[in-house]
Chain A
Amino acid sequence: MDMFFSVLDATLRVSTPLVLAALAGLFSERSGIVDLALEGKMLAAAFAAACVAYLAQSPWAGLGAGIVAGMLVALLHGVVSISYNGNQLISAVAINMMVSGVTPVLALAWFQQGGRTPTLDDGARFTALQLPFADSIAQSALLKTILGHNVLVYIAVAVIFVVSWVVYKSRFGLRLRAVGENPHAADAAGISVKAVRYIAQLISGALCGIAGAYLVLAQTGAFIQDMTAGKGYLALAALIFGKWRPWAAVSGCLLFAFTDAIQIRLQGVALPVIGSIPDAFIQAIPYVLTVVLLAGFMGRAVAPKAIGIPFVKSR
């Protein structure tokens, strides 16, 4: 039973940034902009959050800085993709390289700790919520697993509900989906394609901002070079796995986080029949799953129709 709760606990912790990033990608891709830049947005946010939280000694200031940094990177991706009709894939590859390169340089120049930022004190991090009845919660493994997280985990849960409402029930969501499926029809109906896509980019940046801030403020306590380590691509994989739908994408994130949580516990453990599985194989599961899914071997993943195509207004 302990094993069950510890795996569940780890799954929730690992999935939080993935969920936020996958939902960020959902806005961008549903609006018709390919979002391979999730990685760069998250990494920039993590760096900004680490710097500001350290200087201001406040996790909330760090979170705010992370959101702003994520939005700025998203804006750059937006300007290239929306205003200059640039190649969105190339833009994202460029952005990821730029952020991965510039953050350790700035960290070294500003903090002289070899490309990382100073470790944050507890006061500058998000720690587990301090609830009333803390003693009785600590006694129950179930309650502890559910209630013993930091505030960002619960924000992420709220974000899932808000996003699925916005995408499917709100006026903006309808426009978002219209712009991603058929921008020319949306344009003819009087919707500004560019405005919707910019807003989607900014939302994507803000959500990636929370995700990146989470990595620093709730997990490591410092910025480390390339600390996103492919989480942006993993979130994108979850989004494809979920066929660009919020709840399905979230379940993809939970699945990937779950494989990660059991991977740590399976290290060196011999299973019946197959024996012990090398960690590398379990690490590769999400990527293999994405390839299989994209190939249509497990139900077809159909992307928004207008994805990746710059919108040029017809005259």
Chain B
Amino acid sequence: MSQPANLPRWAALWLMPVLNLFAALLVSGLVIALIGEDPVECLKLMINGAFGYPEGIGYTLFYTTSFIFTGLAVAAAFHAGLFNIGGEGQMYLAGLGVTLVCLQFGGLPGWLLIPLAMLAAMVFGAGWAFVPAYLQAKRGSHIVVTTIMFNFIASSLMTWLLVDKLRMEGSQTPATVEFAKSAWVPMLHELLAPLGFALPNTPLNATFFLALLALVLFYLAVWHSPQGFVTRTVGLNEKAARYAGIPVDKVIIAVMCVSGALAGLAAINELLGSTHRMNMGFTNGIGFAGIAVALMGRNHPVGILLSALLFGALTQGGLDLSFEKPVITREMIIFTQGLIILFCGALENLFQTPLSFAFKRLLKK
């Protein structure tokens, strides 16, 4: 994540991500052309699907909500120099916490049940991140490998629970019973209907505002709090942090727990905001997409908001596109996500040398 020294700040912060994004979309377009479709037409269909009509916008913002949480989760860990690939598993486990609370205390009123479910989501997500964090901090095992393993373990565990323990009686599909109505997070169109706004029926719900709040809190916590300062110090130079007397182990564990809790909140949007029950594999790659969101957004809340919006639009626009063009399935979006991670995360130096060369020449004139 080194900032190129000889590039103006605005170019490093805005121009490079845009160029990287453009390169990723270009490669995507080439593949679309390769399978015999018109990339420009597809792009138009996608933009229209994501932003062209009220219902599309609702779905785009719904997907954005989840991506904000998993993106913040990855970014939080990045600030401490940790790469948390376990968002998928942490979100999955958080779903278990939500489900257990909703099934156990279904009789409680919503104002009590929903916060309780959120707490459970954060605790379960944090708990699933705690073990890899503890092993990294105390036993030196690499967090990337451990979190990947924990994704697989989570998937096995949840398959067993959903098939053998939590499955709705008499049903073949591995899913729980529907949660009590009091656990449903109010949809936006329900909330705004009494005020006279007629919004289309979409899963966009009040969790969206929670995500926006999380972005603000994230900014304050990382850049305007002692804990944030300590976290960034550990991320920039662990040895210096240790020398300065910072308890690095504790910071690693705490940051990973925050990261897991943030990933867990994405489960609230999916389960209490939309499906109102837990299905097998409901995380559906949202945790992995968080990696792309954080890298593209440069671990900054503003960047994460914009890149989560981009990924929300890609998801919703991509679904619309696959109705119009059955050849372009939702896997095309996964491919594009991969490309964005490659160009924004691993090849971020690709345009740096030519760009700084160009700037040098411009400044000389």
Give the B-binding residues of A (Cβ under 8 A): 36, 80-81, 84-91, 93-106, 108-110, 115, 225, 230, 233, 236-237, 240, 278-281, 283-284, 287-288, 290-291, 294-297, 303
Which secondary structure characterizes the binding site on chain A? Answer: helix
Residues of chain B lying within 8 A (CB to CB) of residue A100: 331, 334, 338
Residues of chain B lying within 8 A (CB to CB) of residue A240: 145
Q: A84-B349, A93-B341, A95-B338 known; A101 and B331 CB under 8 Å? A: yes
Query: For the complex, what is the distance from the CA of A91 to the CA of B141, rounded to whole Å?
Result: 21
Closest beta carbon of chain A to B19's beta carbon, Å: 15
Chain B 319-331 near chain A by CB (<8 Å), digits 1 or 0: 0000000011101
Q: A89-B144, A95-B342 known; A105 and B331 CB under 8 Å? A: yes
Closest beta carbon of chain A to B18's beta carbon, Å: 18
Contacting pair B342 A105 (CB below 8 A): no
Q: A86-B349, A101-B334, A280-B159 known; A296 and B152 CB under 8 Å? A: no
Closest B residue to A234 by CB, please name it. Answer: B152
Contacting pair A101 B349 (CB below 8 A): no
Closest beta carbon of chain A to B339's beta carbon, Å: 6
Contacting pair B149 A237 (CB below 8 A): yes
Interface of chain B residues 128 through 152 with chain A (CB within 8 A): 131-132, 135, 139-142, 144-146, 148-150, 152
Residue from A98, A109, A240 whose CB has the most chain B CB atoms within 10 Å: A98
Query: For the complex, what is the distance from the CA of A89 to the CA of B86, rounded to whole Å?
Result: 13
Closest A residue to B342 by CB, please name it. Answer: A94
Contacting pair B156 A283 (CB below 8 A): yes
Closest beta carbon of chain B to A282's beta carbon, Å: 9
Closest A residue to B353 by CB, please name it. Answer: A84
Contacting pair B83 A89 (CB below 8 A): yes
Closest beta carbon of chain B to A62's beta carbon, Å: 21
Residues of chain B lying within 8 A (CB to CB) of residue A108: 327, 329
Q: Residue B216 at the A interface, CB < 8 A?
A: no
Query: For the complex, what is the distance from the CA of A100 to the CA of B336, rounded to whole Å?
Result: 11
Interface of chain B residues 69 through 93 with chain A (CB within 8 A): 83, 85
Which of A91, A103, A296 sits near B346, CB closer than 8 Å?
Answer: A91
21 A–B pairs (Cβ distance < 8 Å), ordered by A: A80-B347, A87-B345, A90-B291, A90-B341, A91-B346, A93-B291, A97-B335, A97-B337, A100-B338, A101-B334, A101-B337, A103-B331, A104-B331, A109-B36, A225-B331, A237-B149, A278-B160, A280-B159, A288-B149, A291-B141, A291-B146
Contacting pair B335 A102 (CB below 8 A): yes
Q: A-B contact count, CB below 8 Å?
A: 148
Residues of chain B lying within 8 A (CB to CB) of residue A86: 345-349
Residues of chain A lying within 8 A (CB to CB) of residue B142: 294, 303
Q: Residue B333 at the A interface, CB < 8 A?
A: yes
Contacting pair B140 A97 (CB below 8 A): no
Residues of chain A lying within 8 A (CB to CB) of residue B135: 291, 294-295
Which of B83, B132, B153, B338 sits near A98, CB closer than 8 Å?
Answer: B338
Query: For the complex, what is the distance from the CA of A281 to the CA of B132, rounded to whole Å?
Result: 19
Residues of chain B lying within 8 A (CB to CB) of residue A115: 329, 331
Residues of chain B lying within 8 A (CB to CB) of residue A283: 156
Query: For the complex, what is the distance from the CA of A237 to the CA of B339, rounded to whole Å?
Result: 26
Contacting pair A284 B341 (CB below 8 A): no
Closest beta carbon of chain A to B93's beta carbon, Å: 14
Residues of chain B lying within 8 A (CB to CB) of residue A236: 145
Query: For the complex, what is the distance from the CA of A101 to the CA of B335, rounded to whole Å?
Result: 4
Chain B 113-132 near chain A by CB (<8 Å), digits 1 or 0: 00000000000000000011
Residues of chain A lying within 8 A (CB to CB) of residue B350: 84
Residue from B142, B148, B332, B337 whose CB has the most chain A CB atoms within 10 Å: B148
Residues of chain B lying within 8 A (CB to CB) of residue A81: 346
Query: For the complex, what is the distance from the CA of A86 to the CA of B342, rounded to whole Å?
Result: 9
Closest beta carbon of chain B to A93's beta carbon, Å: 6
Closest B residue to A237 by CB, please name it. Answer: B149
Which secondary structure characterizes the binding site on chain B? Answer: helix
Contacting pair B139 A93 (CB below 8 A): no
Contacting pair B341 A97 (CB below 8 A): yes
Q: A100-B334, A101-B334, A294-B135 known; A109 and B35 CB under 8 Å? A: yes
Query: For the complex, what is the distance from the CA of A80 to the CA of B157, rounded to whole Å?
Result: 35
Contacting pair A280 B145 (CB below 8 A): no
Query: For the complex, what is the distance from the CA of A97 to the CA of B337, rounded to whole Å?
Result: 7
Q: Closest 10 interchain pairs by CB? A: A101-B335, A97-B338, A98-B338, A101-B334, A294-B141, A280-B160, A109-B35, A94-B342, A86-B346, A91-B346
Closest B residue to A236 by CB, please name it. Answer: B145
Chain B 20-38 near chain A by CB (<8 Å), digits 1 or 0: 0000000000010011100
Query: For the complex, what is the distance from the CA of A312 to the CA of B292, rounded to whole Å?
Result: 26
Q: A233-B152, A278-B164 known; A90 and B157 CB under 8 Å? A: no
Closest beta carbon of chain B to A206's beta carbon, Å: 22
Residues of chain B lying within 8 A (CB to CB) of residue A101: 331-338
Residue from A93, A99, A278, A297 whose CB has the most chain B CB atoms within 10 Å: A93
Contacting pair B139 A296 (CB below 8 A): yes
Q: Residue B295 at the A interface, CB < 8 A?
A: yes
Contacting pair B288 A97 (CB below 8 A): yes
Query: For the complex, what is the distance from the CA of A243 to the CA of B124, rounded to whole Å?
Result: 32
Query: For the complex, what is the distance from the CA of A75 to the CA of B65, rounded to whole Å?
Result: 36
Contacting pair A105 B335 (CB below 8 A): yes
Query: For the complex, what is the distance from the CA of A283 to the CA of B158, rounded to whole Å?
Result: 12
Query: For the complex, what is the distance from the CA of A300 to the CA of B336, rounded to whole Å?
Result: 39
Closest beta carbon of chain A to B121's beta carbon, Å: 22
Contacting pair B156 A94 (CB below 8 A): no
Closest beta carbon of chain A to B239's beta carbon, Å: 15
Contacting pair A294 B338 (CB below 8 A): no
Contacting pair B339 A98 (CB below 8 A): yes
Contacting pair B328 A105 (CB below 8 A): yes
Contacting pair B331 A280 (CB below 8 A): no
Query: For the complex, what is the distance from the CA of A178 to the CA of B346, rounded to whole Å?
Result: 25
Contacting pair B345 A105 (CB below 8 A): no
Contacting pair A281 B338 (CB below 8 A): no
Residues of chain A lying within 8 A (CB to CB) of residue B31: 102, 105-106
Which of A99, A105, A288 sits near B153, CB closer than 8 Å?
Answer: A288
Residue from B140, B150, B331 whose CB has the most chain A CB atoms within 10 Å: B331
Residues of chain A lying within 8 A (CB to CB) of residue B346: 80-81, 84, 86-88, 90-91, 94
Contacting pair B148 A233 (CB below 8 A): yes
